[in-house]
Amino acid sequence: MSSYTTIDGRAVAEIEEKKSRFIASLAHVETEEEALAFLDEIRVANRMARHNVYAYVLREGGAGAAGRVRYSDDGEPQKTAGMPTLEALQHAGLTDVICVVTRYFGGVLLGTGGLVRAYTGATQAGIEAATKVVVSSCVDISVRIEYPLYDQMLRIASDCGAKVLDTQYAEAVTLKLRMLDGTQQPLLDKITELCRGQERVEVSDPIDAMF
């Protein structure tokens, strides 16, 4: 069962190093187009900045190894900015993510070691500010049951590792559940046992989803 870690939405963090401001902006992206659009957005918002260094890691190109990895020093000395930013993302085990580190120069040169520390530190601060989520292969299960069985159904779902996504109350209760693909059969068996074959169950094809 393949799963990977990414971030939910966006995050921003800032550090200061010898009067230079380093602002790390992170975003969840799934395509190169989305990554470049976010980069353009940050550049536009920080036109007065000296540098907008970036790195991104995408699953594009298939599961398993990262499909696409890119970084840019954006005018900083080679391997002092984009590479440390990328390495911080990879060290955190993140994919489908872009980090843009905006530098407002403070008048004091940092040297190559200082730059590496600053860009690494800013990226790590951004990662800490982000909400990290695991995306796995899941199935969604829709089950329609009678009201008297509702509480028992919730307990069974919880015991089997399912999460309730939605509940609709009408003539009967319709629950939408999500669970890891490959773990659903015990739940389906217990639903049949609980409802004595009177339930209505639909199981989706596997999807990549946060769980």
Q: Which domains does the chain have, with CATH numbers?
A: 3-130 (3.30.230.30), 136-210 (3.30.70.240)
pLDDT at 62: 47
Integer Cα distance of 136 and 66 in angstroms: 15
Integer Cα distance of 25 and 95 in angstroms: 15
Backbone angles phi, psi at 100, to 5 degrees: -115, 120
Per-residue pLDDT of the chain (211 residues; tens, 9 = 90+): 478 899 999 999 999 999 999 999 999 998 999 999 999 999 999 999 999 999 999 987 544 444 789 999 999 999 999 999 999 999 999 999 999 999 999 888 899 999 999 999 999 999 999 999 988 889 999 999 889 999 999 999 999 999 999 999 999 999 999 999 988 999 999 888 888 876 688 899 988 887 7
Q: Give helix then strand counts, H and E, for the chain.
A: 5, 11
Supply 5's token pair: 């870690």
Q: What is the pTM of this model?
A: 0.75
